[in-house]
A = this chain, B = another copy of it.
């Protein structure tokens, strides 16, 4: 299975039995609260709102949610409390409101009180664009600058785990390079080959994997056919593994700017995922 767009994800979430328990870190911001209320009304989430109680109550249009507010004195405290609640098994998902990303990550990574798993923390961006037939996920465009093979292994598994949880049984992964052959001048081609072997050996689970593969062959089944490249991933990838953070970052921003996509970032690899949306993003994106 695969989701056509974010509306399809929301529709599927509405049909689940129990709302996901989400801690909103620094919830005192209108778009964040509106998105949270909408998701709560739709029965998708059970929110916990962390931040300045007075500010949150002023902005809150849904009185029933007032009891979910936990007052904190600072973004640092909001992050710490949210992370503690994850450790206590009370929270399934984190969402960043007005807090700085670095503040939240510090709390997550804290050696004493954090929620590390031993795995590399990485980012997945989910992209909805009219010119592709389903959601397109990209990793890692935001956290790990120049991942080693070992880190790429974690990065792929982190993203595949998210897709598996979303209902994809075997997402199709394309390890993007400029070419299809191993080339020692292009470390990403060697990594892609090695990762394919790792997947075949069952050390990365829950996905199909293709690479090294160039973007035209990955995106376009007709181009793949012309170049004599076969594989179920061609023209149909769910997840793009990027060679570097810079490549992924430029790709995601180009999709938004030139192809009109909606992008949603999720931080993965800790005990629970965290939605990372820019502080300037609107309600629709935050809701998604």
Contact = CB atoms under 8 A, between A and B. Distances in A.
Q: Among the interface residues A141, A142, A254, A261, which one has the most CB atoms of the partner chain B within 10 A?
A: A254
Contacts of A220: 257
A226 interface: yes
Contacts of A256: 216
A253 interface: yes
Interface string A242-260: 1111110111011111111
A36 to B, nearest CB: 23
Interface residues of A, number: 40
Interface string A13-43: 0000000000000000000000000000000
Contact of A244 (B145, B216, B247, B280): B247
A176 interface: yes
A45 interface: no
A287 interface: no
B131 A249 contact: no
A215 B253 contact: yes
Contacts of A255: 254, 258
Kindly list the 8 A-B residue pairs having the minimum CB-CB distance in the complex, ordered from nearest: A215-B253, A247-B247, A178-B249, A258-B259, A259-B259, A145-B185, A219-B257, A243-B246
